[in-house]
Amino acid sequence: MHCIQSRTRDPASFFLVGATITPRHEAAMRLSSYFLPTLKETPAEAQIVSHRLMLRSGMIRQASAGIYSWLPLGHRVLRRIEGIVREEMDAAGSSEMLMPTIQPAELWRESGRYDDYGKEMLRISDRHEREMLYGPTNEELITDIFRNCVKSYRDLPINLYHIQWKFRDEVRPRFGVMRGREFLMKDAYSFDLDFNGARDSYNAMFVAYLKTFSRLGLRTIPVRAESGAIGGDLSHEFQIIAETGESQLYFDATFEEIAHEPSPEFVGKLQSLYAATDDKHDTSECPVPTERLRTARGIEVGHIFYFGTKYAQPMGAKVAGANGEPTTVEMGSYGIGVSRLVGAIIEASHDEAGIIWPDAVAPFKIGLINLRPSDTACAEAGEDLYQRISAVGIDVLYDDREERPGAKFATMDLIGIPWQLTVGPRGLATGVVELKRRSSGEREEVSIESALARLID
């Protein structure tokens, strides 16, 4: 209430904000008024680099074991990743929806998983002593929706997804957000009339995943997988290579040599290449000659399954087929660990000084550093750059704090902003600012206008 009143000139203007008030790009931010609690030292609880850097850069704070609050900087990255995942799912023809975090136990009894899932499932009872659970996944719920709403084969295929928090009560949470108990996941579900349809749906998701991870700046290796607790015959894990990966991978060197074209024709080729985790890899039966076999640690960031009628059968998800006969639908599910990706990307992209965000997921594109805000020339130049960059809708974080230069550079390096634009008295004296690329460390002094031209194009 207070906020609205203080910003609103009169009742009418409230409805005309866009037309009457200069739009202020929401993504632009002054560090002096931002919430960025960075740490110079590493908290003792963090063992791996992504966890350490996420704590130090003020992205997250732990609420309890495996459960985290996402502070503004971390939240931005999470939303960026989520946005890319959403765009690619939409482009692949999946429809976004949102299912609840709390589910009734009875649906899980129908599928038989209520007892199978064990202690990993967080069970809750409501005030009426009704058994509920915090969903670790959503096959039952989506199947229930489907069976109640879809009656004809003419409505197929259907592909639905949502991006929602899940909970798995891991015995031993670790590695920060990479193995949390609460995690944000995109899960999609496909419904088809027969195996061929399901296979097409599966491959469409396979392609969408290649596109998604490629946009996130990651190179993934699709590894054929057993379908585990969810069950089924056709399944791939998408692994990214990182030293701290949890599983040991063996794969054909061809993966490193070919460009990953996300096309349907390419799917068959990629699926035919050898890749296995250590528990599946058998040296004596491996078809790849030793000199062509690569090994590395991998982090699983996505998993796709075809599982046929595993849920549709017990839960009675049937449609009328072309001949009018009831036909049980063929299903698949497709997960991407959105919150895990935040940690995974850091594992794959960092140095001693901090995070190096790929441009697509960076919380800000430009870190504008004013080395001496108390100096009139610096303040004017900094403010001018800040206004001009934010005016064109580019995400810029303006370090306008009264801090020492070293601290400012260290902060920008730590939080991994792709471009650093530095304004200082020394450079301004000769009309230049410094432009630094975080990923390469490359620095050059350029005029203000050419810096803007480089960053805004």
Partner RNA sequence: CGGAGUGUAGCUCAGCCUGGUAGAGCACCGUCUUCGGGAGGCGGGGGCCGGUGGUUCGAAUCCACUCACUCCGACCA
* Tokens, residue 273: 């290449």
Per CB under 7 A, which region of 85-93, 154-162, 191-199, 400-408 contacts RNA? Answer: 400-408
Q: How far is the CB of 340 from RNA (least distance, A)?
A: 4
Answer whether 183's CB lies under 8 Å from 177's CB: yes
Q: What CA–CA distance (Å, rounded) separates 90 from 32?
A: 37
CB contact at 8 A, 187 and 99: no
205 binds RNA (CB under 7 A): no
What is the torsion angle, in degrees rounded to the nearest 10, for the CA atoms of residue 275, residue 278, residue 283 and residue 288? 10
Binding RNA by CB under 7 A: which of 35, 443, 447, 456?
443
Q: Where are the beta strands (DSSP E) in 157-231?
A: 158-167, 182-192, 220-224
Q: Are 65 and 181 in contact (CB under 8 A)?
A: yes
Instruction: Closer to RNA by CB, 308 or 337: give it.
Output: 337
Among 8, 38, 254, 271, binds RNA (CB under 7 A): 38
> Which C-beta is closer to RNA: that of 153 or that of 238?
238
Min separation Cβ 115 and RNA, Å:
15
Options 107, 361, 414, 448; binder of RNA; rule CB under 7 A:
414
Q: Does 385 bind RNA (CB under 7 A)?
A: no
Instruction: Give the nearer residue to RNA in terms of CB position, either 153 or 209.
Output: 209
Q: Which stretch binds RNA (CB under 7 A): 92-100, 198-206, 323-331, 428-436?
A: 428-436
Q: Which residues contact 26 (CB under 8 A, 6 or more apart)?
A: none
Does residue 428 interact with RNA by CB under 7 A? yes
Q: What is Dmax (Cα atoms) for the chain?
A: 82
Q: Which two tokens stand for residue 97?
A: 């929806």
Residue from 302, 382, 416, 418 in contact with RNA (CB under 7 A): 302
* Residues between 71 and 90 with contacts to RNA, criterion CB under 7 A: none
- Please give the helix or strand (H or E) that residue 298 lies within, else none: strand 293-308
The torsion region of residue 444 among left (phi > 0), alpha (psi -120 to 50) and beta comes to: beta
Q: What three-state secondary structure class fits 164?
A: strand
Candidate list 11, 289, 324, 406; residue touching RNA; CB under 7 A? 406
Pick between residue 262 and residue 335 the one whose CB is nearest to RNA. 335
In the list 117, 183, 250, 386, the residue contacting RNA (rule: CB under 7 A) is: 183
Segment interacting with RNA, rule: CB under 7 A, options 73-81, 153-161, 389-397, 424-432: 424-432
Tell me the two tokens of residue 376: 């009139």
Nearest Cα neighbor of 353 from 81, 49, 58 is 49
Our CA angle for 454, 417, 164, nearest 5°, is 120
For position 175 contacting RNA by CB under 7 A, the verdict is yes
Cα 365 → chain centroid: 17
Backbone angles phi, psi at 353, to 5 degrees: -80, -20
Q: Does 353 bind RNA (CB under 7 A)?
A: yes
The Cα–Cα gap between 420 and 435 comes to 6
Q: Which of 91, 229, 258, 322 binds RNA (CB under 7 A)?
A: 229
367 binds RNA (CB under 7 A): no
Measure the CA–CA gap between 134 and 122, rounded to whole angstroms. 6
User: Judged by CB under 7 A, does residue 180 bind RNA?
Assistant: yes
Rounded distance between C-alpha atoms, residue 12 and residue 14, angstroms:
5
Which helix (H) or strand (E) is 104 found in, with range? strand 102-104
Stretch that binds RNA, among 155-163, 173-181, 203-211, 311-319 (CB under 7 A): 173-181
Q: Tell me which stretch binds RNA (CB under 7 A): 127-135, 153-161, 282-290, 333-341.
A: 333-341
- Contact status: 62 vs RNA (CB under 7 A): yes
Among 16, 17, 21, 39, binds RNA (CB under 7 A): 39
Residue 352 in contact with RNA, rule: CB under 7 A: no
Binding of RNA by 413 (CB under 7 A): yes
Strands 234-241, 293-308: parallel, antiparallel or unpaired by DSSP? antiparallel
- Find the shortest distance in angstroms from Cβ 444 to RNA: 10
Q: Which residues bind RNA (CB under 7 A)?
A: 38-45, 47, 56, 62, 64-66, 120, 168, 170-175, 178-181, 183, 185, 228-230, 237, 246-247, 300-303, 335, 337, 339-340, 353, 371-372, 374, 403-407, 409-414, 420, 422-428, 434, 436, 443
